[in-house]
Amino acid sequence: MEENNAGVATLAAAPPKKHNKFVQYFIDLGNRIKSWFVDKYTAIKDFFYGFTKAGREEKKARMGEGPQLSRGERVRRWMKSQSGWLFVAPALILMAVFTFYPIIASFVNSLKQNYSGMTGKFNGWGFDNFVRVLKGDTGTGGASFMQCLVNTLLLTFISVPLSTLLALLISVALNSIKRIQKAYQTIFFLPYLTNALAMGAVFATFFKIIGTTNNTETVGLVNIVLGWFGVKPIDWVGLTSPHWQIGSLSIPWAKYIVTIIYEVWSGLPFKILILFSAMQSINKQYYDAAKVDGASRWTVLWKITAPMIMPQISYLLVTGIMGGMKQYSAIVGLFGETMGQNYDMGTMVGYLYNYIELGQTGYAYAGSLLLFIIIMIITFFNNKITKRRTTYR
Protein backbone atom coordinates (compact mmCIF):
# COMPACT_ATOMS: atom_id res chain seq x y z
CA MET A 1 0.00 0.00 0.00
CA GLU A 2 2.67 2.36 1.09
CA GLU A 3 4.77 1.54 -1.94
CA ASN A 4 1.86 2.00 -4.31
CA ASN A 5 1.15 5.42 -2.94
CA ALA A 6 4.72 6.39 -3.40
CA GLY A 7 4.57 5.24 -6.99
CA VAL A 8 1.59 7.46 -7.69
CA ALA A 9 3.40 10.29 -6.03
CA THR A 10 6.42 9.92 -8.26
CA LEU A 11 4.20 9.86 -11.33
CA ALA A 12 2.43 12.99 -10.27
CA ALA A 13 5.66 14.62 -9.30
CA ALA A 14 6.87 14.72 -12.88
CA PRO A 15 5.43 18.10 -13.81
CA PRO A 16 6.25 19.96 -17.04
CA LYS A 17 9.63 21.59 -16.81
CA LYS A 18 9.52 24.97 -15.09
CA HIS A 19 10.75 27.67 -17.38
CA ASN A 20 11.66 31.16 -16.42
CA LYS A 21 9.24 33.94 -17.22
CA PHE A 22 10.95 35.00 -20.42
CA VAL A 23 11.02 31.56 -21.98
CA GLN A 24 7.51 30.80 -20.74
CA TYR A 25 6.22 33.87 -22.53
CA PHE A 26 7.46 32.58 -25.88
CA ILE A 27 6.14 29.09 -25.20
CA ASP A 28 2.69 30.55 -24.46
CA LEU A 29 2.94 32.71 -27.54
CA GLY A 30 3.77 29.67 -29.64
CA ASN A 31 0.85 27.75 -28.20
CA ARG A 32 -1.49 30.61 -28.91
CA ILE A 33 -0.32 30.89 -32.50
CA LYS A 34 -0.66 27.16 -32.94
CA SER A 35 -4.22 27.09 -31.59
CA TRP A 36 -5.10 30.03 -33.82
CA PHE A 37 -4.00 28.06 -36.88
CA VAL A 38 -5.81 24.96 -35.66
CA ASP A 39 -9.03 26.94 -35.20
CA LYS A 40 -8.77 28.48 -38.64
CA TYR A 41 -8.02 25.09 -40.19
CA THR A 42 -11.12 23.56 -38.58
CA ALA A 43 -13.27 26.44 -39.71
CA ILE A 44 -12.03 26.17 -43.29
CA LYS A 45 -12.51 22.41 -43.24
CA ASP A 46 -16.09 22.82 -41.99
CA PHE A 47 -16.78 25.43 -44.62
CA PHE A 48 -15.65 23.22 -47.49
CA TYR A 49 -17.41 20.22 -45.98
CA GLY A 50 -20.65 22.01 -46.85
CA PHE A 51 -19.80 21.67 -50.55
CA THR A 52 -19.04 17.95 -50.50
CA LYS A 53 -21.77 15.49 -51.25
CA ALA A 54 -21.92 14.23 -47.68
CA GLY A 55 -22.12 17.75 -46.40
CA ARG A 56 -24.94 18.70 -48.75
CA GLU A 57 -26.94 15.70 -47.71
CA GLU A 58 -26.44 16.49 -44.07
CA LYS A 59 -27.65 20.04 -44.69
CA LYS A 60 -30.68 18.80 -46.59
CA ALA A 61 -31.52 16.50 -43.71
CA ARG A 62 -31.27 19.40 -41.29
CA MET A 63 -33.50 21.59 -43.48
CA GLY A 64 -36.01 18.83 -43.70
CA GLU A 65 -36.79 19.14 -40.06
CA GLY A 66 -38.51 22.51 -40.51
CA PRO A 67 -41.31 23.39 -42.91
CA GLN A 68 -40.27 23.15 -46.56
CA LEU A 69 -40.29 26.54 -48.26
CA SER A 70 -40.23 27.38 -51.93
CA ARG A 71 -37.11 29.05 -53.29
CA GLY A 72 -38.93 32.38 -53.84
CA GLU A 73 -40.28 32.41 -50.32
CA ARG A 74 -36.86 31.66 -48.91
CA VAL A 75 -35.31 34.53 -50.91
CA ARG A 76 -38.09 36.87 -49.80
CA ARG A 77 -37.58 35.93 -46.16
CA TRP A 78 -33.84 36.41 -46.45
CA MET A 79 -34.34 39.80 -48.06
CA LYS A 80 -36.66 40.82 -45.26
CA SER A 81 -34.19 39.74 -42.61
CA GLN A 82 -31.51 41.85 -44.27
CA SER A 83 -33.66 44.98 -44.59
CA GLY A 84 -31.53 46.61 -41.92
CA TRP A 85 -29.03 47.39 -44.66
CA LEU A 86 -31.64 49.67 -46.21
CA PHE A 87 -31.77 51.67 -42.99
CA VAL A 88 -28.02 52.06 -42.67
CA ALA A 89 -27.51 52.67 -46.39
CA PRO A 90 -27.69 56.51 -46.32
CA ALA A 91 -25.20 56.72 -43.48
CA LEU A 92 -23.02 54.09 -45.08
CA ILE A 93 -22.90 55.81 -48.47
CA LEU A 94 -22.09 59.18 -46.92
CA MET A 95 -19.42 57.63 -44.73
CA ALA A 96 -17.93 55.76 -47.66
CA VAL A 97 -17.44 59.02 -49.53
CA PHE A 98 -16.55 61.37 -46.70
CA THR A 99 -14.91 59.09 -44.12
CA PHE A 100 -13.65 55.76 -45.40
CA TYR A 101 -12.34 57.00 -48.73
CA PRO A 102 -10.41 59.91 -47.13
CA ILE A 103 -8.71 57.55 -44.68
CA ILE A 104 -7.43 55.34 -47.48
CA ALA A 105 -6.65 58.32 -49.69
CA SER A 106 -4.53 60.00 -47.05
CA PHE A 107 -2.38 56.92 -46.59
CA VAL A 108 -1.94 56.49 -50.34
CA ASN A 109 -1.55 60.13 -51.32
CA SER A 110 0.91 60.98 -48.59
CA LEU A 111 3.37 58.72 -50.41
CA LYS A 112 3.06 60.61 -53.69
CA GLN A 113 5.89 63.06 -54.27
CA ASN A 114 5.03 66.59 -55.33
CA TYR A 115 1.37 65.67 -55.27
CA SER A 116 -1.14 68.29 -56.30
CA GLY A 117 -4.68 67.44 -55.27
CA MET A 118 -6.46 69.39 -57.98
CA THR A 119 -4.64 68.02 -61.02
CA GLY A 120 -3.78 64.66 -59.47
CA LYS A 121 -0.25 64.89 -60.87
CA PHE A 122 2.73 63.55 -58.94
CA ASN A 123 6.32 62.47 -59.55
CA GLY A 124 6.86 58.99 -58.21
CA TRP A 125 6.33 57.35 -54.84
CA GLY A 126 8.30 57.58 -51.63
CA PHE A 127 8.56 59.03 -48.16
CA ASP A 128 9.76 62.34 -49.50
CA ASN A 129 6.76 64.26 -48.11
CA PHE A 130 7.34 63.04 -44.57
CA VAL A 131 11.05 63.79 -44.71
CA ARG A 132 10.48 67.29 -46.02
CA VAL A 133 7.71 68.01 -43.53
CA LEU A 134 9.85 66.87 -40.58
CA LYS A 135 12.88 68.79 -41.84
CA GLY A 136 10.77 71.89 -42.46
CA ASP A 137 12.14 71.95 -46.01
CA THR A 138 8.90 72.53 -47.90
CA GLY A 139 10.16 75.47 -49.92
CA THR A 140 6.80 77.26 -49.97
CA GLY A 141 7.21 79.67 -47.08
CA GLY A 142 4.43 78.00 -45.09
CA ALA A 143 4.39 77.02 -41.44
CA SER A 144 7.21 74.92 -40.01
CA PHE A 145 6.14 71.53 -38.71
CA MET A 146 8.52 71.43 -35.74
CA GLN A 147 7.41 74.89 -34.66
CA CYS A 148 3.78 73.78 -34.85
CA LEU A 149 4.48 70.56 -32.96
CA VAL A 150 6.37 72.33 -30.18
CA ASN A 151 3.64 74.99 -29.90
CA THR A 152 0.87 72.43 -29.73
CA LEU A 153 2.60 70.21 -27.18
CA LEU A 154 3.73 73.07 -24.95
CA LEU A 155 0.36 74.83 -24.98
CA THR A 156 -1.55 71.60 -24.34
CA PHE A 157 0.63 70.26 -21.57
CA ILE A 158 0.71 73.57 -19.75
CA SER A 159 -2.89 74.69 -20.12
CA VAL A 160 -4.70 71.39 -19.52
CA PRO A 161 -3.18 70.55 -16.09
CA LEU A 162 -3.44 74.21 -15.11
CA SER A 163 -7.13 74.49 -15.91
CA THR A 164 -7.88 71.09 -14.34
CA LEU A 165 -6.16 72.18 -11.13
CA LEU A 166 -8.02 75.49 -11.07
CA ALA A 167 -11.30 73.69 -11.77
CA LEU A 168 -10.55 71.32 -8.91
CA LEU A 169 -9.92 74.24 -6.53
CA ILE A 170 -13.08 76.03 -7.62
CA SER A 171 -15.28 72.95 -7.36
CA VAL A 172 -13.89 72.10 -3.91
CA ALA A 173 -14.66 75.66 -2.83
CA LEU A 174 -18.08 75.51 -4.50
CA ASN A 175 -18.82 72.24 -2.76
CA SER A 176 -18.01 73.58 0.68
CA ILE A 177 -20.40 76.53 0.67
CA LYS A 178 -24.13 76.52 1.14
CA ARG A 179 -25.37 80.03 0.50
CA ILE A 180 -25.68 81.41 -3.06
CA GLN A 181 -24.07 78.27 -4.45
CA LYS A 182 -26.49 78.25 -7.38
CA ALA A 183 -25.59 81.81 -8.38
CA TYR A 184 -21.89 81.01 -8.46
CA GLN A 185 -22.61 77.84 -10.41
CA THR A 186 -24.46 79.78 -13.11
CA ILE A 187 -21.65 82.32 -13.49
CA PHE A 188 -18.99 79.63 -13.70
CA PHE A 189 -20.91 77.67 -16.33
CA LEU A 190 -21.60 80.72 -18.51
CA PRO A 191 -18.51 80.45 -20.77
CA TYR A 192 -19.48 76.84 -21.49
CA LEU A 193 -20.75 77.41 -25.00
CA THR A 194 -18.62 80.00 -26.67
CA ASN A 195 -17.46 80.71 -30.13
CA ALA A 196 -13.68 80.43 -30.01
CA LEU A 197 -13.16 83.00 -32.75
CA ALA A 198 -15.47 85.56 -31.18
CA MET A 199 -14.14 85.20 -27.66
CA GLY A 200 -10.57 85.09 -28.97
CA ALA A 201 -11.14 88.54 -30.43
CA VAL A 202 -12.35 89.78 -27.03
CA PHE A 203 -9.26 88.38 -25.32
CA ALA A 204 -7.09 89.99 -27.96
CA THR A 205 -8.53 93.41 -27.02
CA PHE A 206 -7.56 92.78 -23.39
CA PHE A 207 -3.96 92.28 -24.36
CA LYS A 208 -3.30 94.37 -27.40
CA ILE A 209 -1.89 97.83 -27.81
CA ILE A 210 -4.98 99.47 -29.17
CA GLY A 211 -3.61 102.46 -31.00
CA THR A 212 -2.27 105.92 -30.63
CA THR A 213 -4.38 108.93 -29.83
CA ASN A 214 -2.75 112.33 -29.34
CA ASN A 215 0.65 110.66 -29.70
CA THR A 216 0.22 108.54 -26.59
CA GLU A 217 -0.02 104.79 -26.82
CA THR A 218 -3.31 103.44 -25.57
CA VAL A 219 -3.08 99.92 -24.28
CA GLY A 220 -5.46 97.14 -23.31
CA LEU A 221 -6.66 96.23 -19.85
CA VAL A 222 -3.85 93.82 -18.99
CA ASN A 223 -1.12 96.30 -19.80
CA ILE A 224 -2.87 98.95 -17.71
CA VAL A 225 -3.03 96.62 -14.71
CA LEU A 226 0.63 95.71 -15.22
CA GLY A 227 1.38 99.42 -15.46
CA TRP A 228 0.24 99.88 -11.85
CA PHE A 229 3.16 97.68 -10.86
CA GLY A 230 5.56 99.59 -13.05
CA VAL A 231 5.72 97.10 -15.92
CA LYS A 232 6.13 98.71 -19.31
CA PRO A 233 3.43 97.84 -21.87
CA ILE A 234 4.16 94.55 -23.60
CA ASP A 235 2.94 93.90 -27.11
CA TRP A 236 1.23 90.63 -26.23
CA VAL A 237 -0.41 89.74 -29.52
CA GLY A 238 1.04 92.09 -32.10
CA LEU A 239 3.97 92.07 -34.50
CA THR A 240 6.62 93.18 -32.01
CA SER A 241 5.67 90.55 -29.47
CA PRO A 242 8.68 89.32 -27.48
CA HIS A 243 10.01 85.82 -28.05
CA TRP A 244 12.97 83.57 -27.33
CA GLN A 245 14.86 82.06 -30.19
CA ILE A 246 16.20 78.52 -29.85
CA GLY A 247 17.88 77.52 -33.09
CA SER A 248 15.22 77.76 -35.76
CA LEU A 249 12.45 77.48 -33.17
CA SER A 250 10.96 80.60 -31.73
CA ILE A 251 9.16 80.55 -28.40
CA PRO A 252 6.82 83.56 -28.39
CA TRP A 253 6.25 83.43 -24.63
CA ALA A 254 3.98 86.48 -24.54
CA LYS A 255 1.61 84.88 -27.05
CA TYR A 256 1.84 81.60 -25.15
CA ILE A 257 0.67 83.32 -21.98
CA VAL A 258 -2.28 84.87 -23.83
CA THR A 259 -3.26 81.53 -25.37
CA ILE A 260 -2.93 79.67 -22.09
CA ILE A 261 -5.07 82.23 -20.27
CA TYR A 262 -7.72 81.93 -22.98
CA GLU A 263 -7.66 78.15 -22.88
CA VAL A 264 -7.85 77.94 -19.13
CA TRP A 265 -10.81 80.31 -19.21
CA SER A 266 -12.64 78.43 -21.94
CA GLY A 267 -11.88 74.99 -20.49
CA LEU A 268 -12.96 75.78 -16.94
CA PRO A 269 -16.77 75.48 -17.16
CA PHE A 270 -16.77 71.95 -18.54
CA LYS A 271 -14.19 70.80 -16.01
CA ILE A 272 -15.97 72.45 -13.09
CA LEU A 273 -19.23 70.89 -14.25
CA ILE A 274 -17.80 67.37 -14.31
CA LEU A 275 -15.82 67.64 -11.06
CA PHE A 276 -18.56 69.44 -9.16
CA SER A 277 -21.25 66.94 -10.10
CA ALA A 278 -18.86 64.10 -9.22
CA MET A 279 -18.29 65.63 -5.80
CA GLN A 280 -22.00 66.11 -5.24
CA SER A 281 -22.62 62.45 -5.93
CA ILE A 282 -20.11 61.18 -3.34
CA ASN A 283 -21.95 59.38 -0.57
CA LYS A 284 -22.23 61.65 2.47
CA GLN A 285 -21.61 58.68 4.78
CA TYR A 286 -17.89 58.80 4.02
CA TYR A 287 -17.69 62.35 5.27
CA ASP A 288 -19.68 61.55 8.39
CA ALA A 289 -17.39 58.63 9.14
CA ALA A 290 -14.35 60.84 8.67
CA LYS A 291 -15.83 63.42 11.01
CA VAL A 292 -16.35 60.78 13.69
CA ASP A 293 -12.75 59.71 13.30
CA GLY A 294 -11.66 63.30 13.70
CA ALA A 295 -10.04 63.64 10.28
CA SER A 296 -8.94 67.12 9.33
CA ARG A 297 -10.38 68.94 6.35
CA TRP A 298 -7.18 68.42 4.40
CA THR A 299 -7.15 64.69 5.14
CA VAL A 300 -10.76 64.41 4.00
CA LEU A 301 -9.90 66.16 0.75
CA TRP A 302 -6.92 63.95 -0.04
CA LYS A 303 -8.13 60.65 1.37
CA ILE A 304 -11.82 60.74 0.38
CA THR A 305 -12.70 63.38 -2.18
CA ALA A 306 -9.64 63.06 -4.40
CA PRO A 307 -9.74 59.25 -4.79
CA MET A 308 -13.48 59.31 -5.39
CA ILE A 309 -13.22 61.80 -8.26
CA MET A 310 -10.01 60.35 -9.70
CA PRO A 311 -11.83 58.77 -12.69
CA GLN A 312 -13.32 62.15 -13.57
CA ILE A 313 -9.94 63.89 -13.26
CA SER A 314 -8.23 61.41 -15.54
CA TYR A 315 -11.15 61.65 -17.97
CA LEU A 316 -10.77 65.43 -18.04
CA LEU A 317 -7.04 65.19 -18.61
CA VAL A 318 -7.55 62.74 -21.47
CA THR A 319 -10.25 64.75 -23.25
CA GLY A 320 -8.38 67.97 -22.55
CA ILE A 321 -5.17 66.70 -24.08
CA MET A 322 -7.03 65.25 -27.06
CA GLY A 323 -8.79 68.58 -27.63
CA GLY A 324 -5.56 70.49 -27.10
CA MET A 325 -3.77 68.52 -29.79
CA LYS A 326 -6.42 69.69 -32.25
CA GLN A 327 -6.57 73.34 -31.22
CA TYR A 328 -6.76 75.82 -34.02
CA SER A 329 -9.71 78.21 -33.91
CA ALA A 330 -8.65 79.80 -30.63
CA ILE A 331 -5.31 80.68 -32.21
CA VAL A 332 -7.04 82.20 -35.23
CA GLY A 333 -9.36 84.16 -32.94
CA LEU A 334 -6.43 85.56 -30.98
CA PHE A 335 -3.77 86.08 -33.62
CA GLY A 336 -5.57 86.13 -36.95
CA GLU A 337 -5.50 83.72 -39.85
CA THR A 338 -1.72 83.87 -40.27
CA MET A 339 -1.37 82.43 -36.75
CA GLY A 340 0.93 85.14 -35.43
CA GLN A 341 3.94 86.42 -37.29
CA ASN A 342 5.45 83.96 -39.77
CA TYR A 343 3.19 81.24 -38.34
CA ASP A 344 5.10 81.33 -35.05
CA MET A 345 1.90 80.40 -33.21
CA GLY A 346 0.97 77.66 -35.69
CA THR A 347 -0.56 74.45 -34.41
CA MET A 348 -0.66 70.99 -35.96
CA VAL A 349 -4.14 71.47 -37.34
CA GLY A 350 -3.21 74.95 -38.48
CA TYR A 351 -0.31 73.36 -40.36
CA LEU A 352 -2.69 71.19 -42.41
CA TYR A 353 -4.94 74.05 -43.36
CA ASN A 354 -1.99 76.23 -44.19
CA TYR A 355 -0.71 73.68 -46.71
CA ILE A 356 -4.15 72.98 -48.15
CA GLU A 357 -4.46 76.68 -48.85
CA LEU A 358 -0.98 76.76 -50.37
CA GLY A 359 -2.04 73.95 -52.71
CA GLN A 360 0.67 71.60 -51.36
CA THR A 361 -1.65 68.68 -50.69
CA GLY A 362 1.15 66.13 -50.29
CA TYR A 363 2.63 67.96 -47.31
CA ALA A 364 -0.83 68.43 -45.83
CA TYR A 365 -1.43 64.67 -46.04
CA ALA A 366 1.93 63.89 -44.48
CA GLY A 367 1.28 66.40 -41.70
CA SER A 368 -2.16 64.97 -41.01
CA LEU A 369 -0.78 61.44 -40.75
CA LEU A 370 1.92 62.62 -38.36
CA LEU A 371 -0.80 64.27 -36.26
CA PHE A 372 -2.72 61.01 -36.34
CA ILE A 373 0.32 59.04 -35.17
CA ILE A 374 1.02 61.47 -32.33
CA ILE A 375 -2.60 61.32 -31.20
CA MET A 376 -2.44 57.51 -31.30
CA ILE A 377 0.67 57.51 -29.12
CA ILE A 378 -0.99 59.81 -26.60
CA THR A 379 -4.14 57.67 -26.61
CA PHE A 380 -2.01 54.61 -25.92
CA PHE A 381 -0.33 56.20 -22.90
CA ASN A 382 -3.63 57.61 -21.68
CA ASN A 383 -5.18 54.15 -21.75
CA LYS A 384 -2.25 52.71 -19.81
CA ILE A 385 -2.49 55.42 -17.17
CA THR A 386 -6.25 55.56 -16.82
CA LYS A 387 -6.55 51.79 -16.51
CA ARG A 388 -4.25 51.92 -13.53
CA ARG A 389 -5.97 54.87 -11.90
CA THR A 390 -9.63 54.09 -12.21
CA THR A 391 -9.57 51.07 -9.93
CA TYR A 392 -10.66 53.09 -6.92
CA ARG A 393 -14.31 52.49 -7.55
Of the candidates 9, 11, 14, 376, which one interacts with another protein according to CB under 8 A?
376
Q: Reduced to 3 states, what is the DSSP secondary structure of residue 230?
A: coil
Of the candidates 30, 102, 126, 161, which one interacts with another protein according to CB under 8 A?
102
| CB-nearer residue toward another protein: 304 or 378 | 378
Output the smallest distance, CB 109 to another protein, in A.
8
Interface with another protein (CB under 8 A), residue total 95
Output the smallest distance, CB 166 to another protein, in A.
8
Output the smallest distance, CB 189 to another protein, in A.
7
The answer to whether residues 160 and 320 touch, using CB atoms and an 8 Å cutoff, is yes
How far does Cα 207 stand from its chain's mean position? 30
Name the phi and psi angles at 217, rounded to 5.
-75, 130
The answer to whether residues 239 and 344 touch, using CB atoms and an 8 Å cutoff, is no
Output the smallest distance, CB 361 to another protein, in A.
6
Query: Which listed range, 22-30, 52-60, 156-164, 372-380, lies at the site for another protein (CB under 8 A)?
Result: 372-380
The answer to whether residues 374 and 325 touch, using CB atoms and an 8 Å cutoff, is yes
| CB-nearer residue toward another protein: 84 or 141 | 84
Tell me which residues in 37-76 interact with another protein (CB under 8 A).
none
Output the smallest distance, CB 175 to another protein, in A.
10
Report the Cα–Cα distance between both ends of the chain, in Å, rounded.
55
Of the candidates 270, 276, 335, 343, which one interacts with another protein according to CB under 8 A?
270
CA atoms within 13 A on the CB side of 224: 8
Output the smallest distance, CB 326 to another protein, in A.
6
The answer to whether residues 220 and 207 touch, using CB atoms and an 8 Å cutoff, is yes
Does 236 contact another protein by CB under 8 A?
A: no
Does 105 contact another protein by CB under 8 A?
A: yes
| CB-nearer residue toward another protein: 43 or 94 | 94
Tell me which residues in 110-129 interact with another protein (CB under 8 A).
117-118
Q: CA 307, CA 147: separation in Å to the nearest integer? A: 38
- In DSSP terms, 209 is beta-bridged to 219
Of the candidates 218, 280, 281, 283, which one interacts with another protein according to CB under 8 A?
218
- Compose the 130-159 pattern: x for residues touching another protein by CB under 8 A, - for all others: ------------------------------
- Compose the 178-217 pattern: x for residues touching another protein by CB under 8 A, - for all others: ------x-xxxxxxxxxxxxxx-xxx-xx---xx-x--xx
Q: CA 199, CA 235: separation in Å to the nearest integer? A: 19
Does 83 contact another protein by CB under 8 A?
A: yes
The answer to whether residues 184 and 315 touch, using CB atoms and an 8 Å cutoff, is no
Tell the burial category of 335 from Cβ atoms under 10 Å away from its Cβ (0-12, 13-18, 19+). Answer: buried
The H or E element spanning position 218 is strand 216-219
Tell the burial category of 312 from Cβ atoms under 10 Å away from its Cβ (0-12, 13-18, 19+). Answer: buried
Output the smallest distance, CB 324 to another protein, in A.
12
Of the candidates 356, 358, 382, 386, which one interacts with another protein according to CB under 8 A?
356
* Residues 6+ positions from 211 with CB-CB distance below 8 Å: 217, 218
Which residue in 215, 217, 312, 318 sits closest to 273, CA to CA? 312
| CB-nearer residue toward another protein: 250 or 269 | 269
Tell me which residues in 284-343 interact with another protein (CB under 8 A).
297, 315, 319, 322-323, 325-326, 328-329, 332-333, 337
Q: CA 85, CA 66: separation in Å to the nearest integer? A: 27
| CB-nearer residue toward another protein: 158 or 166 | 166
